Structures are given as C-alpha cells and as structure tokens.
Amino acid sequence: MGKTYKEIDRKSANWIEEQRMFFVATAPISGEGLVNLSPKGLDSFRILDPHTVAYLDLTGSGIETIAHVKENARITIMFCSFEGPPKILRIYGQGEIIEKSNPRFSTLISKFIKFKSARAIIVINIKRVANSCGFGIPIYHFQQQRDTLINWAENKGEKGLNAYHKEHNEQSLDKLKGLEMNS
C-alpha cells in the first residue's frame, strides 16, 4: 500500500505538478488550540528542490497557518488525485514564513504567478513524504479555477488589502501572532 520517502522524487514531482488543489494542515502547541485545515488552489504550489517546497499564501479571512507555523513550524501538505488513478500524497515538514518584508520574498516570488492578494510565501523543509492508495477518494472533473479571490483583491487595491490584513490577519483564532503589520 503506502510508501514513505525522505524527499520528492521525479515521479512524485510530476504527479504533484498535475494537481490543481492541495490541502494545508497545521495546529498550535496548545491542546486547547484549533487544528487548521485549508484548501489551496490557483497554481500556488512549487517544488524548489527534492527537499524543499513552497506555496504562495494568498489573503484569506484567517491567518491560522501562518500563526501556527510561526509558533511551532509543523505543517503537512496533502494532495489527492480527483482525476485519474487514485492516490494521496502527504508532505510533512517544518515551515518557515517569508513575509513581504523579508528580503527572501522578492527572490522567491518570481517562482509564482503574480497575485495582488499574496501576503507571504510558506517554505517547507521536508521531513517525510508518504503516499497512500486514495481508493476512497471520489472522482471529480475539473472545470476551472475560481477568480473570486483575484477579483476581490483587484477591487480592494493595495491600501484596501493592507487595511484588511491589519483588521483580519494580525492574530489567529487562538490569539497567536499572524502577519507582521507596519503601523
């Protein structure tokens, strides 16, 4: 059935690049804290090398992933095949938040499609890659990516996005630090 690896091999990399959606899971250290699971799309995932991946974190109503990774670095990425042969692939690792103020942001951002709603890049140093059968995953047929977030960010503009980040992205639901905000 499932196999584990220390890195992403070429076959897995090719399969990952075909997927249109992935999920990100994080949790705070506190047992009282909330586990977070977020779906991602919009061609925002990149394989930097066999031991490192990254995704472009786009503006959302919460800031849980960033807050949890800042607190404890634990992060899991999961891909599922919704088309073609069944498969699930999980990437377990230690995350690092690269916000716009970080000098590395300007270098890494060139690897992604440009989105006005980009608020950070999450870089993950891989500790384990595991695949499993995915026999229970339903088959879906992709129609298109949604453009709602893209249009929303365009309409907000830079000042509007900054205000939104200040209001909604400074602190997580568990009261952990979110985005660094310049007052």
Residue-wise pLDDT tens digits, 3-13:
999 999 999 99
**Which tokens in the block code for residue 90?**
């999980």
181 confidence band (pLDDT: 50, 70, 90): confident
Length of the chain: 183
Output the six-digit token pair for 28. Answer: 């705070």
Residue 12 one-letter amino acid = S
Instruction: Measure the CA–CA gap between 75 and 64, rounded to whole angstroms.
Output: 11
Would you say residue 86 lies in a domain? Answer: yes
Q: How far apart are CA 126 and CA 21, in angstroms?
A: 19
Report yes or no on 174 lying in a domain.
Answer: no
Tell me which amino acid residue 174 is. D
Query: Is 176 part of any domain?
Result: no
Provide mean pLDDT across the span 64-69.
Answer: 98
Question: Does residue 173 belong to any structural domain of this protein?
Answer: no
Answer whether residue 2 shows pLDDT above 60.
yes
Cα gap 183→181, rounded to integer Å: 6
CA–CA gap between residue 79 and residue 57 (Å, rounded): 17
Inside any domain, residue 35? yes
| Residue 32 included in any domain | yes
Assess if residue 178 is contained within a domain. no
Q: What is the mean pLDDT of the segment spanning 55-78?
A: 97
Q: What residue numbers bound the domain in which 37 lies?
A: 3-134+142-168
Band of pLDDT at residue 18, cut at 50, 70 and 90? very high
Mean pLDDT of 103-122: 96
Residue 119 sits in a domain whose CATH number is 2.30.110.10
Q: Does 16 fall in a domain?
A: yes
Q: How many domains does the chain have?
A: 1
